[in-house]
């Protein structure tokens, strides 16, 4: 589903975040990306989303070389990105409106786009209900809690039926109980839909809960991806189990050693 090949990326300051960096995500896998702040994890997500361009190398998603936002890739950012002047319902419809605006051009919207008002309405209602915010349809984002806003942002993305879901620290700004609740929601969604997803987080527990595979980045130029297979994802009820805690400790050690090694360089 995602093929990152020999990626080279640096911002204007010339400090390289990625060099010769390659990894592969299979269809249907749920990945998490973890690392200290400044390690390039958000950058990597935007590169895959097509909202950032690599200096060299390629990002291929669904067989398509990514040079701009891909219509079937969904993106949810930490700061929900809802339009403050539109109701939750209108916000949820925004992607559909944008698609209608361009028509099925294959660039801004899928080439096989079907414009069906009834089906669109059904989908909007379905996802709002599924995320438990259908009663807030007529409200504006400022009237909602952070968790509710983030649910709306997720609904807006899922309405477009993406085949890949990218999330950047989606639950970081939320209180612990709401964060855990939404993690559970997303786990359930993954089991149900088998949607390929990649979630960036700085939270070790979240990385373990959401990621079948965990990609660990570090705050120096990333070359060899470190990938941890994690069968504990989705086991939200096992947060307190020794196994789960061991995995968290393991991750913590990796993150700690990786950055301390860098400091010695």
Partner 1 sequence: MKKKATMLSTLAGVVMFFALWQLLALIINRPILPSPLEVVPLFLRNITGELGLHFLASAARVLTAIILATLLAAPLGLALGQMPRLDSVIGPLIAIIYPIPKIIFLPVIYVLMGISDLSKITLIASIIFFQILVVVRDEAAGLKKELILSVKSLGAGRRALFKYVYIPASIPAILTALRVSVGTAVAVLFIAEQSLTSYGLGYYIVIETYQVLLYPEMYTGIMGMGLLGVLLYFAIYSIELKVSKHMFLDGH
State the residues that interact with partner 1 by CB under 8 A.
Answer: 46, 49, 51, 69, 71, 73-86, 94-95, 97-99, 101-102, 107-109, 140-143, 153, 156-157, 160
Q: Which is nearer to partner 1, 105 or 253 (CB)?
A: 105
- Contacts of the segment 12-21: beta carbons below 8 A, 24+ positions apart: 15/221, 16/221, 17/43, 17/221, 17/222, 18/43, 18/44, 18/54, 18/57, 18/221, 18/222, 18/223, 19/221, 19/222, 19/223, 20/57, 20/223, 21/57, 21/222, 21/223, 21/225
Helix (H, G, I), strand (E, B) or coil at 14: coil
Neighbours of 237 (CB within 10 A): 9
Tokens of 232: 């504990």
Closest contact distance (angstroms) between CB of 107 and partner 1 is: 8
Q: Which is nearer to partner 1, 9 or 244 (CB)?
A: 9
Q: Which is nearer to partner 1, 12 or 101 (CB)?
A: 101
Closest contact distance (angstroms) between CB of 109 and partner 1 is: 5
Closest contact distance (angstroms) between CB of 44 and partner 1 is: 14
Closest contact distance (angstroms) between CB of 105 and partner 1 is: 9
Q: Which is nearer to partner 1, 105 or 246 (CB)?
A: 105
């Amino acid at each position: 589903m995602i093929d990152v090949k020999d990626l080279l990326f640096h911002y204007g300051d010339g400090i390289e975040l990625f060099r010769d960096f390659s990894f592969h995500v299979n269809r249907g896998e749920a990945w998490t990306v973890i690392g200290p702040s400044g390690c390039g994890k958000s950058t990597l997500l935007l590169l895959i989303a097509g909202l950032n361009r690599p200096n060299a190398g390629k990002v291929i998603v669904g067989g398509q070389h990514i040079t701009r936002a891909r219509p079937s890739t969904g993106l949810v950012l930490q700061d929900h990105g809802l339009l403050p002047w539109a109701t939750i319902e209108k916000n949820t419809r925004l992607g559909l409106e944008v698609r209608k605006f361009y028509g099925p051009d294959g660039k801004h919207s899928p080439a096989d786009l079907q414009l069906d008002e009834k089906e669109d309405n059904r989908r909007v209602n379905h996802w709002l209900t599924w995320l438990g915010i259908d009663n807030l349809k007529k409200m504006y984002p400022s009237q909602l809690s952070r968790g509710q806003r983030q649910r709306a942002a997720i609904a807006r993305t899922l309405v477009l039926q993406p085949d890949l879901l990218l999330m950047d620290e989606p639950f970081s700004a939320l209180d612990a109980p709401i964060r855990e609740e939404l993690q559970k929601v997303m786990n359930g969604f993954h089991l149900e839909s088998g949607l390929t997803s990649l979630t960036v987080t700085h939270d070790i527990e979240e990385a373990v809960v959401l990621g079948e595979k965990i990609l660990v980045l570090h705050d120096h130029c990333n070359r060899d991806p470190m990938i941890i297979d994690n069968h504990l994802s989705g086991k939200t009820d096992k947060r307190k189990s020794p196994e789960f805690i061991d995995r968290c400790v393991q991750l913590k050690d990796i993150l700690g050693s990786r950055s301390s090694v860098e400091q010695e360089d």
